Structures are given as structure tokens and as C-alpha cells.
Structure 1
Amino acid sequence: MAEDFSALADLKAAAPVAAPVREPKIDAQGRSYATGKRKNAIARVWVKPGSGRITVNGRTLEVYFARPVLRMMINQPFQVANRSGQFDVVVTVVGGGLSGQAGAVRHGISRALTFYEPALRGPLKAGGFLTRDSRVVERKKYGKAKARRSFQFSKR
């Protein structure tokens, strides 16, 4: 039994493994690309240095996402990374509703920022922006009114 514990001590004495150094992923036009997902929405996001202009499906952010809460949600990764107004973003988003699309855009922006500037991974990960929110609507089952709700019971 004592031998087992000595083997563990040897493992502890071994040199710590260094975190891998990530290289920026930037294309020929100076952009970073990432895909963001939320519910049934998928956002393709391109990030490049610029004046802070965000274009969604060919329209400005204010026109496409009229609700201030959704715009605030999309700008969160830039505020956490202290990069507000430093990047131009071009987004193509399909599927789902506006709320799901906003979540997909936020996820895509966060991933693209980490590809452009790998040092931002820490604060964005701590903020929870790199985790794909996997919650989706449960499918309807046969013999049920909705996913889990039964039909109304009638005694007579």
C-alpha cells in the first residue's frame, strides 16, 4: 500500500504542464471568423479592427435588434474585454427568434475575439461568454398536448 502513495508523490514532483500558447487566427483580409449558436439560431461572425460598427444581415445593429436589452447583450463581450469601439463586426444570422439570434451573435463575437486576440480568452471565459448555451425547446411527444402537458381530463 505504501508503494501506491510514493507513486503519487512522484507525480506531484513532476514539472507542471504549461498552458498551450494560442496563435491568432486571422485571414488575409485581417479578420477573424467564428460561429455562434443559441437555441436554433446560428450566427456567422467576422471581426476586424475598426471604428466599432456592427452590421447584422446587411443592417445596422440598431435597426436589426430594436430592443435595447438585446443590443446591450451583444456589446457585453467588448465591455468585458475593454475593446468597445475598436472592432468592426459583420454578422450573418439565421434561424430562431430575435432573443436566440442575439445570444448567437454574442457567442460568435466572443469566440471571434479570442481567435483575433488569444489573451482575451481569460476574461471572456470568466464572464461565461465562450460557453454555448445548449438549452433548446423540448420536442412534442405523441399522446401529449405539448412536450409534457397532457390533454385535459374529463371525468364525464
Structure 2
Amino acid sequence: MVINLEPVFQKQKIGIGKRKEAIARVFLVPGTGNLLINKIPGEKYLQYNTFYLNTIWAPLKILKLEKQYDIIAILNGGGLTGQTEAIQLGVTRFLCNLDNANRGILKPYGFLTRDARIKERKKYGLRKARKAPQYSKR
């Protein structure tokens, strides 16, 4: 399945979502409800995990638009959970750019909140951020 993505990427509106180390650039194009992640079908990319798929489609399902748009996402970094939540935030931001009335509908569900938790840095004298070497009294 080869899709020409050039006209899509020239649009001004783009939804950018971040979570942990994952960054997602999301485009919504009129379609039939397909998901394309890094030029791979979304179901295959997310290993057919229904939780991940439901997380991505949740904002569109609330607005009853899931069969009207295709989601095209370009991902960098992170794992599948972080990437999934980054796509969800990107989709939500894109929907708010399309129509400002969507913001009031999606905000109570917490879709517009950027989860700012990131990995804590490693400290000197420790093995990880908080894990210390084993203590020996004698």
C-alpha cells in the first residue's frame, strides 16, 4: 500500500504531541478511519494492541468523527505507550485547531493535558537515579 503523503505535509495545521521521549507529528485528512504510522498501517505498528488503538481514536470517538478522518502520524523516539499517548495529544491539538468548540468538549476528558513526567537524571555515586550500591556494615 503506497500513499502519496506530499500534499498532506504541506498543510499549515499540524498536531504535535509529546510524551516521555516520544514526539508525534499528526495530520488528519478526510478519509474512512485509517491509521498510518511512519508509513506502516497503525494496527501492525502497534502490534494489534486494542488498548493502544482505542487510546489514539478516543478523541475522535467522543466527537463522533472516527469514520470521517484518517490519521497520519510521524513518530520519533520512545516506546509504544509513549508514542500512543503522543499521537493522542497530537490528534486532540489538531482537532482544536480545526474548530475551537472542540476544545471545550475534549478538555474535561484530560486529552489536552501534556503529561510532563520524564526520566529522572542519574546522580553520581548511584547506579541509577535513586538506586544505590549495596550497603555493607562490615
User: Given the two structures, how large is their TM-score scaled by the length of structure 1?
Assistant: 0.77
- Between the aligned partners of 1:69 and 1:106, the Cα distance in structure 2 is 12
Deviations 1:72-112 (A, max 9, x none): 11111111222121111111001011110001000001101
For normalisation by structure 2, the TM-score amounts to: 0.87
Partner of 2:127, secondary structure, is: coil
Instruction: Give the secondary structure class of the aligned counterpart of 1:79.
Output: helix
Structure 1: 4+ residue segments shifted above 2 A: 27-32
Structure 1 position 48, deviation (Å): 2.1
Q: 1:31: how far off?
A: 7.3
Q: Is the 8 A contact 1:32 1:47 kept in 2?
A: no
Q: Unmatched 5+ residue regions in structure 1?
A: 1-26
Please tell me whether the aligned partners of residues 56 and 87 of structure 2 are also in contact (alpha carbons under 8 angstroms): yes
Pair 116,84 (structure 1): closer, same or farther in 2 beyond 3 Å: same
> Where does residue 41 of structure 2 map in the other structure?
60
1:70 equivalenced with 2:49 (yes/no)? no
Contact kept, 8 Å, 2:123 with 2:130, in 1: the verdict is yes
Aligned residues between the structures = 130
Q: How many percent of aligned residue pairs carry the same amino acid? A: 42
1:150 maps to 2:132: yes
Per the TM alignment, residue 29 of structure 1 is displaced from its structure 2 partner at its CA by 6.9
1:100 to 55, 78, 82: 82
Q: Aligned to 1:36, what secondary structure does the other structure show?
A: strand
The SS at the match of 1:32 is: coil
Q: Does 1:90 align with 2:72?
A: yes
> Which has the larger Rg?
1
* 2:112 maps to which of 130, 133, 154: 130
CA separation in 1, counterparts of 2:66 and 2:72? 15
Deviations 1:97-153 (A, max 9, x none): 111000100000110111112211111111111111101111111111211121110
Structure 1 residue aligned with 2:98: 116
Alpha-carbon separation, structure 2, partners of 1:131 and 1:56: 22
